[in-house]
Amino acid sequence: MQSQVIRIEANDWQAVQGSDAWRAALEGGKVLFFPRLGFDLQPGERALLRPDIRDPGVRNISLNVDGSLKGAMGDAATQAALAAMITRFREQALGLIGTLLPHYTSALRLAPTSYRPMQVENRQQSWRADDRRLHVDAFPSRPNYGERILRVFANVNPEGMPRVWRVGEPFETVARKFLPRAKPYSAWQAKVLQALHVTKSFRSEYDHLMLQLHDGMKRDMDYQHNSPQETVPFPAGSVWVCFSDQATHAVMSGQYMLEQTLHLPAAHAYDKDASPLAILTRLVGRPLHGVPPQQGA
């Protein structure tokens, strides 16, 4: 399998100039890896790198779009310092995407920024929630109708530990393998799920198929162990970017990471035919039920 990771030797957040090749790779499901583009901690921020700063009742600490902090422990000064650190990362991540992918800027929708201080290896989760299994991102309760999930990650581990991923085969290869196993879509079942508040909105056929791929991959242990894949250690002081709804990935180990999520309408990509929505529509052979026209346009 050809490597799905593109190494880019930039070392300045403000000076990363995008190229057509990098954009095509990203929208084709590859991971852009910046080994020298670290997020620098300010004096005193190293004290924020400890697991007990997270409220044990939540998975990660998050900075909401409105600037409010969720999931953090500590006094007002500690929470203010955390918010300042995460805000600075958000600003740098947005600046990186703005220079790397300027066509996206007007259409991006900001999501919360997360700080993940826990050690990946110690998580106890169900097989569906276990991100140590190869998967593409899809969310049971939050239909997105083909909107892309763009993520910027930074490893800020103070002990130099890498964030280790497995990166798997291209999305279309995965879809061709698992779509034949997918349960048929039912619009009336989607309406029931919405009425019961299992989902926040009506689950489209796209969202159903993405969940079927997500669950099918995670359930298939032969696929997990034997499918084409590469192990990628993202070192402390590095940054990487991917569409997590398209890059086949698993998070194997690591601790202390910052992450920014951005949402992009599929129709606003550089290559509209490369998105999971376009690929699934092509494989199914017809427009997918419940997808708004502006996503598939």
For residue 295, pLDDT beyond 80: no
pLDDT band, very low/low/confident/very high, at 296 (cuts 50, 70, 90): low
148-195 pLDDT, tens per residue? 999 999 999 999 999 999 999 999 999 999 999 999 999 999 999 999
Domains of the chain by start residue, with CATH? 5-286 (2.60.120)
10-33 pLDDT, tens per residue? 888 877 877 899 999 999 999 999
pLDDT at 19: 87
Which residues lie closer than 8 Å to 201 by C-beta, 6 or more apart?
142, 143, 194
Mean of per-residue pLDDT scores for the chain = 94
Q: Whole-angstrom Cα distance, residue 74 to residue 81?
A: 10
pTM over 0.75: yes
Q: Whole-angstrom Cα distance, residue 27 to residue 159?
A: 33
Residue owning tokens 């049971």: 140
For residue 135, pLDDT beyond 90: yes
pLDDT band, very low/low/confident/very high, at 297 (cuts 50, 70, 90): low
R_g of the chain computed on alpha carbons = 19
pLDDT at 205: 97
